[in-house]
Structure 1
């Protein structure tokens, strides 16, 4: 019988990296949109910060929906 390929610690590390990557992707995309709109440096930094916040909020929402989905199965 074949078991899981990752230990619990490795799974937690991989999950954390995926979460951080997701938040970073949303944050950087906010900065790129600001750059495309010819924003100033301050506006670009604010867009990145707002993107990080939105990414973190979206991640928290997706994690809660995932927990509810797993509990219902």
Structure 2
């Protein structure tokens, strides 16, 4: 039988990068959307901060939900 082709450490590092990337993508997206309303720099920073919090919550929810369906290793 063939074992896994990736080590647990590499898998964990990749998962961590994907989670951080998703949070950052959502945060930057919130800042870019706020640019449509001609905001001040403080408003852009607030939009990015709120989007980062939302991104972290969404990532937590998605990861927790998908763990139910992933095979146990």
TM-score, structure 1 as length reference: 0.88
Structure 2: gaps (5+ residues): none
1:1-60 Cα distance to aligned partner (Å, 9 max, x none) = 543221000000000000000000000000000112211100000000001000000011
Q: CA RMSD in A?
A: 1.5
Structure 1 segments (4+ residues) deviating >4 Å = none
Structure 1: gaps (5+ residues): none
Greater share of helix residues, 1 or 2?
Answer: 1
Count of paired positions: 71
TM-score, structure 2 as length reference: 0.88
